[in-house]
């Protein structure tokens, strides 16, 4: 079964599943992936803080994982 990414997905869980997804976060403007808070935040929470469109990031992550 494929890994499912949603707005509620925790960034740390995604990175643990596939570390190469860091590229998607970095390209979106999230450069603080090593921060303890970032590992525990949902994608939606992080996008709100960084002013990033959550749906665009989710689409990029899904495409990367496909």
Q: What is the pLDDT along the chain (66 residues), one digit of tens a residue?
A: 678 999 999 999 999 999 999 999 999 998 888 888 878 899 999 999 999 999 999 999 999 999
61 neighbors 14 (Cβ within 8 angstroms): yes
61 closest CA partner among 32, 45, 53: 53
Rounded Cα–Cα distance for residues 4 and 48 (Å): 20
CA distances from 29 to 2, 3, 46, 51 (A): 26, 23, 11, 9
Give me the phi and psi of 29, to 5 degrees please. 110, 10
């Amino acid at each position: 079964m494929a890994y499912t990414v949603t707005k509620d997905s925790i960034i740390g869980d995604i990175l643990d599943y596939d570390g190469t997804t860091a590229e998607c976060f970095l390209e979106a403007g999230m450069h603080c992936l090593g921060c303890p808070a970032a590992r525990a935040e949902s994608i939606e929470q992080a996008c709100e803080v960084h002013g990033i469109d959550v749906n665009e990031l989710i689409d990029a992550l899904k495409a990367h994982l496909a």
